[in-house]
Amino acid sequence: MHHKDIKRIVKEQLKSNFPNWRSLNRKKKKKIAREIVEKVSNAYDFSQQLSIPVEELTGIEDQVPTAGVMSLDEMARFVDNIQRSNLFDLKTKRAFSNIKDEELKFINDLLDDHIINCLLSYEGYSPCMREVYPSNFFRAELLKAIKYPEISYRKFCQEEYMGLDRKQNREFMGLPLHKKIMIHHTQLSQFRASMAFPQMTNLLVYVLSHFFQSGMLSQGVLHGVDSTELPNDNMRPLCSLNVNGQKIRIYTDIDADCGKRRNKRDKSSFFIGYRMHTLTVIDAQTGHSFPLVSLLAAGNHHDSLFLKPLIKLALAMGIEVKLITADEAYHDKDGSLFDEMISFLKSKKIVAYKLPERLEIVARLPVVGDQKINKKLLRQQIAEKLEILIKNEELRIKTCLRHLELAIKVKGERRAVIEHRKFYSGYLKGLYNASKTRNELMKFVDYAGVEDLLLKYLSELKEIQVTV
């Protein structure tokens, strides 16, 4: 991880010492990058033990849940409070007769400008004497992303797209139809730059609250995690350095890096840019999947580094995650993600029956055709997995009893049973409802009581029914 730490330090120095980095020509950037890389690597202590959070090493420290991020339940209360605070309950709504596009009409009906202004407003914000509100900027960004992604912001903010004759666009953006008020491209640039991560996350939570209330998902859902490559045009590094067999590369885009492609197809094995890690929700009945939240990082980092941060962010947003499917690159090898997820859910006072029992990482879900999940085969696979686990559980419990029997022959019953208590956590680790059984085992001082309880517990495990 030392090479990642060196890259982190170099990035921090470039960003802090050269705020005008983008305006420099390539020759100057090359000289500056080489000097800083050599300076940092020469002064770096490779014998130190790194205690830096993985979020900082991977460059996603500004994408972690912080104070101000609302959960789905908090968002519901927030919206309800805003609606209740209105002095007058005006049921009438503008017709928006100029919006003919079905997609724009759907989005327009979904959004509440008052709520968006509250979510995007900063401390000390006052709407007094304003012609353009945060909701107008947000709607303008949506319009460009949906209908005009191929044109520049400078061109989008001209009369060709925002003039008085473009009534549909102006009505969707919330601009007056009788008064020539325009949005300048620099205003949109300032709006994007001023948005903090909690504001963007809360906007996403607001949209997700509509999604979960829409009834588009059935009762049986699971979640998937996968990554997408986002290459850019940085083909040649400004400088590179070999550190213990790992290369540190600095590109014109400071945050980008070189990563390996998952599927080569007819392209090269490597790309330069970013990788987006996305958590999706999958409807088990229809097989349809919907993206929920994403993290963006440089392309050189391994997928396994992003499973924990992604799940933490989803849980902070109030998304209930019980079953995750992902490729092997995201494997939770040491089980720490599952333990942290349970601790986090308990800290949020989630009732016990809603807590996930285990985390299973699979390469892919069985499908019929291109998209629909093969539920019959999925049930069969889960049943086989549980059958193997139950056999393993039976072996562990019988071994625990055999261990106790041998100890009794050497130490006597009372002493052996009391000293055997320290082994229960190891034998029962990861089993369903193990903590309750372990607490009950601590009460016994005779072999018969331990045997009866463990055999009863084993029969309960065998009665687990597979439901999807």
In which domain, by residue range, is 383 found? 374-462
**Cα–Cα dist 212/205, whole Å:** 10
Residue 291 and residue 278 in contact, taking contact as beta carbons nearer than 8 Å: yes
Give backbone dihedrals phi and psi of 276, rounded to 5 degrees, phi first. -100, 125
Domain stops at, among 178, 202, 226: 202
Both tokens of 321, joined, read 């995650």
**Cα–Cα dist 41/46, whole Å:** 9
Does a structural domain hold residue 384? Answer: yes
Cβ-proximal residues to 269 (8 Å cutoff; 6+ apart), any chain: 260, 261
Q: Is 258 exposed, middle or buried (0-12, 13-18, 19+ CB in 10 A)?
A: middle
Q: Is 105 exposed, middle or buried (0-12, 13-18, 19+ CB in 10 A)?
A: middle
Domain stops at, among 151, 178, 202: 202
Does a structural domain hold residue 352? Answer: no
Return the closest-CA partner of residue 77 out of 239, 163, 205: 205
Beta bridge partners of residue 229, listed in sequence order: 275
Helices 134-147 and 102-110: crossing angle, nearest 10°? 150
**CA 143 from centroid of its chain's CA atoms:** 25
**CA 280 from centroid of its chain's CA atoms:** 9
Total structural domains in the chain? 2
Beta bridge partners of residue 326, listed in sequence order: 225
Both tokens of 204, joined, read 């996403």
Give me the tens of pLDDT residue by residue for the chain, a chain 468 residues long. 788 888 889 899 999 999 898 899 989 999 998 999 888 888 888 888 878 888 888 888 889 888 889 999 999 999 888 888 766 554 445 567 888 889 999 999 889 888 998 898 866 666 665 778 899 999 999 999 999 999 999 999 999 999 999 999 999 999 988 888 899 999 999 889 888 899 999 999 999 999 988 888 776 677 888 888 888 887 788 888 887 778 888 988 888 988 888 765 556 788 889 999 999 988 777 778 889 999 999 988 888 888 888 988 998 998 888 777 777 677 655 566 666 667 767 777 777 666 766 666 666 677 776 667 777 787 777 766 655 555 577 888 888 898 899 889 888 999 999 999 988 888 887 777 788 888 899 999 999 999 999 998 888 877 754 443
**Cα–Cα dist 308/295, whole Å:** 11
Q: Quick check: helix, strand or coil at residue 145?
A: helix
> How much is the pLDDT for 465?
44
- 410, HSE (Cβ side, Cα atoms, 13 Å): 8
CATH number, domain of 383, equals 1.10.1200.80
Residue 238 and residue 26 in contact, taking contact as beta carbons nearer than 8 Å: yes
CA angle 339, 345, 348 (to 5 degrees): 145
Does a structural domain hold residue 132? Answer: yes
> How much is the pLDDT for 146?
92
**Cα–Cα dist 428/424, whole Å:** 6
- What single-letter DSSP state applies at residue 158? S
**Cα–Cα dist 156/278, whole Å:** 29
The rounded radius of gyration (Å) of the Cα atoms in the chain is 28
- What single-letter DSSP state applies at residue 335? S
Full-model pTM: 0.68
Residue 197 and residue 63 in contact, taking contact as beta carbons nearer than 8 Å: yes
Does a structural domain hold residue 420? Answer: yes
**Cα–Cα dist 299/311, whole Å:** 20
Does a structural domain hold residue 140? Answer: yes
Q: Which residue matches tokens 């392209």?
A: 267
Residue 324 and residue 356 in contact, taking contact as beta carbons nearer than 8 Å: no
Q: Quick check: helix, strand or coil at residue 140?
A: helix
Does a structural domain hold residue 362? Answer: no
**Cα–Cα dist 231/151, whole Å:** 19
Beta bridge partners of residue 224, listed in sequence order: 280, 325
**Cα–Cα dist 201/317, whole Å:** 8
Beta bridge partners of residue 290, listed in sequence order: 281
**Cα–Cα dist 69/84, whole Å:** 22
> How much is the pLDDT for 393?
78
Does a structural domain hold residue 327? Answer: no
Residue 156 and residue 147 in contact, taking contact as beta carbons nearer than 8 Å: no
Does a structural domain hold residue 404? Answer: yes
CA angle 297, 300, 304 (to 5 degrees): 75
Domain stops at, among 142, 173, 202: 202
> How much is the pLDDT for 264?
55
**Cα–Cα dist 115/135, whole Å:** 9
Helices 434-441 and 447-462: crossing angle, nearest 10°? 170
Both tokens of 109, joined, read 């009906």
Which stretch of DSSP H or E encloses residue 162?
helix 159-162
